[in-house]
Amino acid sequence: MAAFVWLTILTALRVLGRNRMRTALTMLGIVIGVGAVIAMVSIGDGARRAVQRQIATMGTNVIIVWPGVTTVSGVRGSQGGAVTLTVADALDLKKKVPLLSETAWAKRDVMQIVNGNRNWNGSINGVSPSYLTIRDWSFTSGGPFTQADLDSAARVALIGQTVAENLFEPGEEPVGAVIRIKNVPFRVIGVLAPKGQSAQGSDQDDVIFIPFTTAERKVFGTLFLGSVGGIFASTERVDDLPEAVEQIREIIRMRHRLQGEQPDDFTIRTQVDIGKVQQGTSQTLTVMLFAIASVSLLVGGIGIMNILLVSVTERTREIGVRMAVGAKRRHIVVQFLIEAMTLSVLGGALGILFGVTGAKLTTVIAGWPTIVSGAVIAAAFGFSLVIGLFFGLYPAAKAARLNPIDALRYE
Which residues are near other proteins by CB under 8 A? Answer: 1, 3-4, 6-7, 11, 14, 18, 317-318, 320-331, 404-405, 408
Q: How far is the CB of 11 from other proteins (least distance, A)?
A: 8
Helix (H) or strand (E) holding 342: helix 329-365
Helix (H) or strand (E) holding 122: strand 118-127
306: Cβ contacts below 8 Å, ≥ 6 apart: 26
Q: Which is nearer to other proteins, 218 or 331 (CB)?
A: 331
Secondary structure of residue 328 in the 3-state scheme:
coil
Nearest-angstrom CA–CA distance, 222 and 212:
11
CA distances, 81 to each of 70, 224, 230, 372 (Å): 8, 13, 11, 45
Beta bridge partners of 98: none
Q: How far is the CB of 304 from other proteins (least distance, A)?
A: 22
* CA dihedral over 286, 291, 293, 297, signed as positive or negative: positive
Q: How far is the CB of 308 from other proteins (least distance, A)?
A: 18
Nearest-angstrom CA–CA distance, 278 and 271:
11
Q: Which is nearer to other proteins, 16 or 156 (CB)?
A: 16
Q: Which is nearer to other proteins, 25 or 324 (CB)?
A: 324
Beta-sheet pairing, 139-142 with 156-159 = unpaired
Q: Which is nearer to other proteins, 18 or 257 (CB)?
A: 18
296: Cβ contacts below 8 Å, ≥ 6 apart: 29, 32, 33, 36
Q: How far is the CB of 9 from other proteins (least distance, A)?
A: 13
Q: Which is nearer to other proteins, 1 or 365 (CB)?
A: 1
Nearest-angstrom CA–CA distance, 133 and 276:
24
Q: Which is nearer to other proteins, 204 or 335 (CB)?
A: 335
**Phi then psi dihedrals of residue 345, to 5 deg:** -70, -40
Q: How far is the CB of 317 from other proteins (least distance, A)?
A: 6
Q: How far is the CB of 402 from other proteins (least distance, A)?
A: 11
Q: How far is the CB of 313 from other proteins (least distance, A)?
A: 15
Taking the C-alpha atoms of 196, 201, 204 and 206 in order, what is their torsion angle to the nearest 10 degrees? 110
Q: Which is nearer to other proteins, 1 or 287 (CB)?
A: 1
Secondary structure of residue 221 in the 3-state scheme:
coil
Q: Which is nearer to other proteins, 187 or 328 (CB)?
A: 328
Secondary structure of residue 158 in the 3-state scheme:
strand
Q: How far is the CB of 23 from other proteins (least distance, A)?
A: 15
Nearest to 89 by CA among 209, 213, 228: 228
Q: Which is nearer to other proteins, 237 or 330 (CB)?
A: 330
Nearest-angstrom CA–CA distance, 121 and 259:
42
* CA dihedral over 216, 217, 222, 227, signed as positive or negative: positive
Q: How far is the CB of 349 from other proteins (least distance, A)?
A: 25
With 0-12 CB in 10 A as exposed, 13-18 as middle and 19+ as buried, what is 58? buried
